[in-house]
Amino acid sequence: MRVLSLLLLLVPSVLSFTFRSSSCSKTFPSVSPRLCGYGRSIPVVIQHKNVHKKAFKTELKAIQLEDAVRPAVVVGGTMGAYALRSTFNLPSPLSAPILLGSLSYLLINLNLPLQSHQPSLYCGAFAGTSAMSLMSTPLNSIYLGLIAAILFEAFERFKLFTGKGGRLGMCATMSSTVFTAVRGRLALGSELKAFIKSIPCSTNAAFAVATQATVVGAGGALVMPGLAASAGAVLCTLMRRRGFSPVTASSLVGSLGIWGIGGPLGALFYAGTFVGMSADAASVETRSLKGQVVAAGVMTVIFQVLGRGFLGGVGGKLGAAALGGVLVRDSLEK
């Protein structure tokens, strides 16, 4: 009887230990069942901590590599734009970002991991559309690219205008303005006078549109440029919905404006594509074509007021105007 009682006491303990050992072995196949007894789970915890540490270190290295590559790509975009403009007889300074954006699309199709760096390249190229008299030498293009890289990093880290079309152009405009001021080529007094003089002209043009007083003058000032910008915005939006990235869609559609239409209307057609680069443009559910036309129209007014006589020679002003159009449109919709 004593032996039987002892067996009855030992059997449940043995069964419990066997069950926990087998289940632990299934859960952690690399761990011996002998380590899964009472108080023997510490090696498992240590093993998982080591796995998490390795994953964290790998992710940290990837972030550090990204932080190093992104500014280099911005500088490369500015230098590339300068090289193209100084080497070839391009029809417009805006040809440089179109060529670089299209080139990045071709390289992506060759399975090169460049898609995440397309915005960096495009931003640097926009800064490189500044007047050649400002850059003048390859070294100056590097300086301009470095300023653009610093501001682009600020835009990314502080999430300034994230997902808004035209943010790259705004970054380029700020970079070019800083570069111009550092070089002592920015006359604030003259720029302010030019800005004040541009307001009556734009107001008269807007009044002419509203009253249809002078069809030719109104059409030249706002109507035809607005239609060109709207067409560019719609076409770029449609390409986005076909799966093209923002930079690729803008570059391909913009080539029609710069090399097809040409002149100021072609430039505004290309500027309309910046509206189509917004994050919400990729889906019919988040952005209507009507909203894109509104933003392109506002962009045209902003550029006609600021772009023609203000901050002469500074690159990226069309993109800055596009950002203004997107922000005004979004505020009206709220």
- Residue with tokens 């069809």, as numbered in its chain: 215
Comparing 67 with 111, the larger pLDDT belongs to: 111
Whether residue 216 has pLDDT greater than 90: no
Q: Residue 6, Cβ neighbours under 10 Å: how many?
A: 10
C-alpha distances (whole Å) from 178 to each of 72, 256, 266, 299 are 19, 31, 28, 23
For helices 167-182 and 317-333, what crossing angle results, to 10°? 140
pLDDT band at 323 (very low <50, low <70, confident <90, very high): very high
pLDDT value at position 189? Answer: 65
Q: How far apart are CA 60 and CA 55, in angstroms?
A: 9
pLDDT value at position 33? Answer: 45
- Greatest alpha-carbon pair distance for the chain in Å reads 118
Whether residue 68 has pLDDT greater than 90: no
Q: What is the DSSP string of 254-272?
A: HHIIIIII-HHHHHHHHHH
Closest CA to 77 of 55, 99, 60: 99
pLDDT value at position 88? Answer: 95
For helices 138-157 and 118-127, what crossing angle results, to 10°? 130
Left, alpha or beta for 263 (phi > 0: left; psi -120 to 50: alpha)? left
Q: Using one digit for the tens of pLDDT, what is the confidence trace for 254-304? A: 999 999 999 999 999 999 999 999 999 999 999 999 999 999 999 999 998
